[in-house]
Amino acid sequence: MELIGACGTLTSAQAARELGGSSGLYSFHLRQLARYGLIEEAPAGRGRVRPWRLASAAQSPDPAPATDLDGLARGLEDESYQRWLTQRDRAPARWQRDEAFSQVLYLTPRELTEMGSAIRELIARYRHREERPATRPPGAAPVAVVARLFPLLEPGPHGPNSLEPDADV
């Protein structure tokens, strides 16, 4: 979104050049942003060029609420992961493995916050590579990093693992 705002219009090929990755990946993401009304097709140039721009003020007078953007992000993550699963065997052998995992842990609210902070710190060590492509090592490619830390709530008001109010605040 920032890149589209800075450039005015953007094609998937331009996004791939600026951000790294494939134009197919950015084409998918641009179509999803359009689906949520955040961007729209700009008048096309010649050939099969498909430029996009931020949605006009007439079509979206208020910016999308954070909850809509959160839903968009989760949808893109889920769709991207499903796409990965169906196309993994077409990736180069060195990229056919992923590090997807899931684990239920018993944490206090404080520990949940600490774990979130630790994950953010680890991600921050690599974030600069998005804005500064020259810092990417040879062979680097865009990788989705998804972490969701949330309490598992039992059905009913007093299930065996229900959350205790004011416990370890």
* Residue ranges making up the domain that contains 126: 101-169
Query: Which of 43-57, 93-107, 146-160 reaches the highest mean pLDDT?
Result: 93-107
Among 51, 67, 98, the domain-final residue is 98
Q: Let me know whether 65 and 33 are in one domain.
A: yes
**Share above pLDDT 70 across residues of the chain, in percent, rounded to a whole number:** 80
pLDDT the model gives residue 159: 52
Number of structural domains found in the chain: 2
pLDDT digits (tens, 9 = 90+) for 85-128: 888 898 888 888 888 788 899 999 999 999 999 999 999 999 99
Among 98, 121, 150, the domain-final residue is 98
Q: Let me know whether 64 and 52 are in one domain.
A: yes
Q: Let me know whether 89 and 107 are in one domain.
A: no
Among 54, 82, 98, the domain-final residue is 98
pTM (two decimals): 0.54
Long-range contacts, 45-54 (Cβ 8 Å, 24+):
49/11, 50/11, 50/12, 51/9, 51/10, 51/11, 52/4, 52/9, 52/10, 52/11, 53/4, 53/8, 53/9, 53/10, 54/1, 54/4, 54/5
